[in-house]
Every structure is written in structure tokens, then in C-alpha cells.
Structure 1
Amino acid sequence: MQNKKNTSIIIADDHPMLLKGLNEELVSNNYKVVGQATNGSEALELILKRAPTLAILDIDMPLLSGFEVIKIAKEKNILTKFIIQSFHGESEYILQAKSLNIQGYLLKEDSFNEIERCITAVLNNKNYYSVSLGNSLLLYVTEELQHLKLLSPSESTILKLIAQQQSTNTIAINLSVSLRTVEKHRSNIINKLNLKGEANALTSWAIYNKDIISSL
């Protein structure tokens, strides 16, 4: 692991007191905080300008979410490593983090000792998700991701269009394929995702998970 003082960190949170507290903890433990932001746009600008070793971001921020910041930064080939720190511990947030290959995920209730363990792991190219999340949740999310990885490129494209609430007929027209082809792909997607229940189960699932699907 590299020296703490050589580890440049940018932190972002729209709660001033939480931002201040995290900054004080990091500085008092000899980390080098090179920038702070209170919204996603500001965080992205700092990351692109300073290219820090690490960025610790909240999810829910004005202008751009933490996930959006990370996605854009990765598309620009920024080498910064990312940790999410959030109040959200629900599966859909963890699934989205893992789909973006975010190495660290912490809950804001975690102690600084756990934050430091996460930092250490991420800087050593390891994943670290808060122990508060529990193994069963992480296992469920991992299985969901494995299901998504089973989709073919055509199925992924159709799933994205379903998430945009496009009908089977509209998808067929937009992709210049037959209705039967789209229906066959829908059936394959349902089977691969292990979706059961009512007829619109796939549409409901896709709309609910549209942020995750957009990263496929």
C-alpha cells in the first residue's frame, strides 16, 4: 500500500457536517484531502482536474449522483479509485455499484476504522463492501449480476429499450426486426433473469432497475 501522505483524496457529500467530519477524520489520520465538493458536478470537475488517488462520494447529490460521477469519470479513463459512502444499503444500490465495478461501498453509520479498512483494501485493488450489508445481501447481488451477464448483446439492447418503457411493437420497429424476434428475446431474458409471476414482470423489473441496465 502506498504512503498515506501520497494518497490524494477527494470527498463529496451534500451534507456539510458529514463532509466536514469525514475531512477531519481523514486529515487527522494523515491522509491528504485535496478537494471537497457538495454536489456531483463539482465533484466530477475536481476529479477530472486533480485525478486523485481516491474519491469518496455520496450517492444522493445535486446535479449529478455519485454513480453518475463515477460512470463519467470511468468513461474518460480516469485512474482514480472510488468508494461510495451512503445511507442506502438496499440491494438495488449495491447492484448498481457492482455493475459499475465500484470497489468500495460503505454505510454512513460505519466507524472510521471500517472506512480505513475499506481505503486500504481499495488501494490494494481489492473490493470492500461494508460488513453491515451482510453476506446474504452481497450473495444475492452477485447472483443477480451473474444473471445479467448471461444476456447476449441483442438481449441487453432490448432490455434497455424495455427499461425505457418501449412496447414490443416499438422495439421491433426501432431495431428493424419482427415482433416474433422481440418476443423470443423477451422470453429468453425472462428465463435468464429467473423472473416469474405476472405477464408484465419483465417490464416492471426493467423499469425498477433502469439505472443498472443502463450500465450494461
Structure 2
Amino acid sequence: MIRLILGEDQGLLRGALATLLSLEDDIEVVGQAENGEVALQLIHELKPDVVILDIEMPLKTGLDVAEIMKRDNIPGRVMILTTFARPGYLQRGIAAGISGYLLKDTPSHELANAIRQIHQGKRVISPELSLAVWEDPCPLSPREREVLKYAAQGMTMQDIGATLFLSHGTVRNYMSEAMGKIGASTRIEAISIAHEKGWLD
């Protein structure tokens, strides 16, 4: 029996998924969480085989939970189930050691089969997501992403420089490079594009 925890903040969808997956003979939904904090608590308590997580949950996102599980060597394989086909999210998820990344419109029988494959140690990723990463890899360096991320939080170039121990001119150069790579004419446009692609998360 595959013991499963569901982390999804939309109650209706969470309940529907739990009901559909419980119909499978070899899958048991042992816990449900409405946010990332509760998901982590249940993972510690119930020690599931597989954890299905939404990305955009309150308190901690699904990717936050996956990263904590990897950092702390918490057993259990992670599948991300999301509406967002953003390359940056998938890249971050792979770095966090996730085993699966599927879209929420995946039919329930395909989802159940994916859970079985993940339980066996395989990796399952939606074809649409694989294609998105292949066609649209992040062009930004880690430092450029960092500068854009701080700018997105409303920090000035001076603030960013102080935070990263860089000169104002160096920060401005990183921002300029990032804008050029993304094809943005303004700082706001660069932040908007990078956020939409999932490169700042």
C-alpha cells in the first residue's frame, strides 16, 4: 500500500483528489494539509511514501517543503501538482530532488500511475513542462537573479548593494545585464518577465 499525503490549499480540489485516489486499491491517503506548515508536520508524524504538493500554498510553498525535506533528509518522495507550467518552478523543483511534476488537469488514472512510478523510484514530469524548460531556459546568472529578486521586493540599488556587499555600480551592471538578457527595456518589465517565467522563485 502506498501511503500518501496531499498538500493543497483549495479544499474542494484537495477533497476531490483524496476521494479519487482513495478509490485505487494500492493507494491510501493518510493525511491532508491546507498549507505547507501543516504538510511538513504531517510528513514528520505520518512518514508517508509519497507527498503531493501544490506550489502556491500559504505559509510554505510546495517547493519550500520539498527543499526542507531534501535539506533535512526527510524520507518520502515528492510530487508537485500545479497549474503553473513555469520553467523556473520546474528547475527549482528538480534541484530540490522532487520525483514528479504534473499539471492539475492530469486525469486521475494518469496521476495514480505517476504515483506508482514515483514510489518505485522513477521520475515523472509532464511533457508540457519538459518542453517549456527545453525551449525557455533561464538566461540569468545566480547573481542577476538575486539582484532582480531584491528589486522585486522594492529595494533600491543602494539597498541591494549593501545587502550583497557590492558597489552601486556593480549592482547597476548586474541589473543592466539582466535586462539585456531578458529583452526588457525597464527594470519593472524585467522583474515582471522574470516573475512570470518563475525565475525569481
TM-score scaled by length of structure 2:
0.75
Match of 2:89 among 77, 81, 96: 96
* Residues 34-73 of structure 1 aligned to structure 2 (within 5 Å): 34-73=30-69
State the distance in 2 between where 1:177 and 1:52 align.
44
Deviation of residue 195 (structure 1)?
Answer: 1.2
The alignment yields a C-alpha RMSD, in angstroms, of 3.1
* Residues 203-214 of structure 1 aligned to structure 2 (within 5 Å): 203-206=191-194, 208=195, 212-214=199-201
Segments of structure 2 that go 5 or more residues without pairing to the other structure are none
Higher relative contact order (CA 8 A, sep 6+): 2
Aligned to 1:147: 139
Which moved further from structure 2: 122-131 or 108-117?
A: 122-131
Q: 2:24 aligned with 1:24, yes or no?
A: no
Structure 1 residues 174, 111: closer, same or farther in 2, change over 3 A?
closer
Aligned to 1:183: 172
State the distance in 2 between where 1:211 and 1:48 align.
29
Q: How many residues align?
A: 196
* Residues 102-117 of structure 1 aligned to structure 2 (within 5 Å): 102-117=98-113
Deviation of residue 156 (structure 1)?
Answer: 4.4
Aligned to 2:29: 33
State the distance in 1 between where 2:146 and 2:184 align.
23
State the distance in 1 between where 2:13 and 2:145 align.
38
Which moved further from structure 2: 41-50 or 177-186?
A: 177-186
Deviations 1:43-84 (CA, angstroms, capped at 9, x unpaired): 121012233221112344444333333333333322321112
In structure 1, what residue type is equivalent to 2:132?
Y
Deviation of residue 124 (structure 1)?
Answer: 4.1
Q: 2:150 aligned with 1:161, yes or no?
A: yes
TM-score scaled by length of structure 1:
0.71
CA contact (8 A) 1:155 1:189 kept: yes
Structure 1 residues 205, 169: closer, same or farther in 2, change over 3 A?
farther
Secondary structure in structure 1 of the residue aligned to 2:52: strand
Q: 2:4 aligned with 1:9, yes or no?
A: yes
Segments of structure 1 that go 5 or more residues without pairing to the other structure are none
CA contact (8 A) 2:88 2:197 kept: no
State the distance in 2 between where 1:85 and 1:199 align.
33
CA contact (8 A) 2:179 2:185 kept: no
Deviations 1:121-176 (CA, angstroms, capped at 9, x unpaired): 32344432335xx3xx642334544534xx25x44443432332322233233334
Deviation of residue 17 (structure 1)?
Answer: 4.4
State the distance in 1 between where 2:152 and 2:48 align.
34
State the distance in 2 between where 1:57 and 1:125 align.
18
Secondary structure in structure 2 of the residue aligned to 1:52: coil
